[in-house]
């Protein structure tokens, strides 16, 4: 039986590539975008299996309407793909309070609220799959991306805990963690800090030069990523984390090695903080 996907942010990038790949398989897709006219030609070419819906994930009414439209048209939602997001680059001190909150509204709260909209349907179905597209920046943070990575770290923690809640109900959760792919991440939507502070330039400028200097030269192919994501959805044992790209794996391994060294150095000191007569048992242990 074909699946019904609801994908946020399908105008470009991963969302668009995944929507196209899903439709090629004969599955059904609710393509959501802030400007649905940008996906009109894809719907026109797949009128039986695709609909376009206006959705800003920060808008409560539009979130509810998108889910309602999906059910009215296709009767179910098998896969929710929380893909819509926004990048940012700059020092933490340089971002305004409004920018910080906007970043979390789009990248984090939008994901949580879309998930909450769809969960009652999946619980009733006793099946479903929630995919949260984060980034290797959901596991590894660096100067210039602290705000962006904070939102992605939050989604990682949300999804990891959610998995334990919904797995017994027949619902799977997968976090997709791409490295550098040829998407519009470095495009006009990438938020710049309101204020540039000279003291941070030695950290920020090399990152900025890398990001914009390599735009559309990134190694990752979104079409290949889409096929791997579908493979995970179709798997009998879907992964909680799906890392994409050799660069992502390299950053993750580098961080883990540094963490292990630091943890071991402080391990005994950190452990010796319990009362003397207490036996410590981890939660779930």
Q: Where are the domains of the chain?
A: 4-246
Q: Confidence band (pLDDT; 50, 70, 90) for 284? A: low
Q: Give the pLDDT score at 285.
A: 55
Percent pLDDT > 70 in the chain is 97
More confident residue, 214 or 175: 175
Query: Rg of the chain's alpha carbons, rounded to an integer?
Result: 20
Q: Give the pLDDT score at 282.
A: 77
Q: Give the pLDDT score at 213.
A: 76
Please say if 249 is a catalytic residue: no
Q: Give the pLDDT score at 216.
A: 65
Q: Give the pLDDT score at 189.
A: 61
Indicate if the pLDDT at residue 179 is higher than 70. yes
Q: What is the mean pLDDT of residues 52-60?
A: 97
- Please give the backbone phi and psi of residue 217, each rounded to the nearest 5 degrees, phi first: -120, 5
Q: Confidence band (pLDDT; 50, 70, 90) for 8? A: very high
54-60 contacts at long range (C-beta below 8 A, 24 or more positions apart) = 55/8, 55/84, 57/8, 57/9, 57/82, 57/84, 57/106, 57/110, 57/111, 57/113, 57/114, 58/105, 58/106, 58/109, 58/110, 60/113
- 4-246, CATH topology level: Rossmann fold (3.40.50)
The mean predicted confidence, pLDDT, of the chain is 94
Residues constituting the chain: 285
Q: What is the mean pLDDT of residues 73-101?
A: 96
State whether residue 10 is helix, strand or coil: coil
CB atoms within 10 A of CB 27: 20
Indicate if the pLDDT at residue 144 is higher than 90. yes
Indicate if the pLDDT at residue 45 is higher than 80. yes
Candidate list 148, 200, 212, 249, residue with the active-site label: 148
Report the C-alpha gap between 261 and 173 in whole angstroms. 31
Q: What is the mean pLDDT of residues 199-225?
A: 85
Q: What is the mean pLDDT of residues 28-48?
A: 95
């Amino acid at each position: 039986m074909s699946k019904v996907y609801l994908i946020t942010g399908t105008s470009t990038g991963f969302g668009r590539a995944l929507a196209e790949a899903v439709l090629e398989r004969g599955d059904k897709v609710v393509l959501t975008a802030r400007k649905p006219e940008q996906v009109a030609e894809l719907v026109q070419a797949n009128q039986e299996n695709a609909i376009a819906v206006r959705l800003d994930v920060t808008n409560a009414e539009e979130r509810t309407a998108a889910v309602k439209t999906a059910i009215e048209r296709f009767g179910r939602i098998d896969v929710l793909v929380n893909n819509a997001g926004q990048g940012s680059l700059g020092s933490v001190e340089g971002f305004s309070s409004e920018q910080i909150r906007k970043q979390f509204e789009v990248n984090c709260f939008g994901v949580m609220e879309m998930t909450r909209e769809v969960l009652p349907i999946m619980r009733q179905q006793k099946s479903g799959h929630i995919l949260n597209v984060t980034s290797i920046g959901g596991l590894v943070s660096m100067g210039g991306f602290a705000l962006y990575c904070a939102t992605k770290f939050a989604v990682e923690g949300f999804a990891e805990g959610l998995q334990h809640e919904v797995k017994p109900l027949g619902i799977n959760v997968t976090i997709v963690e791409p490295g550098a792919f040829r998407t519009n991440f470095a495009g006009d939507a990438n938020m710049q800090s309101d204020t540039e502070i000279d003291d941070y330039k030695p950290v920020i400028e090399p990152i900025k030069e890398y990001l914009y200097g390599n735009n559309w030269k990134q190694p990752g192919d979104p079409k290949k990523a889409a096929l791997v994501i579908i493979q995970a959805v179709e798997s009998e044992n879907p992964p909680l984390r799906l890392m994409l790209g050799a660069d992502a794996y390299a950053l993750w391994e580098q961080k883990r090695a540094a963490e292990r060294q630091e943890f071991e150095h402080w391990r005994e000191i950190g452990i010796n903080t319990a009362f003397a007569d207490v036996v410590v048992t981890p939660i779930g242990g």
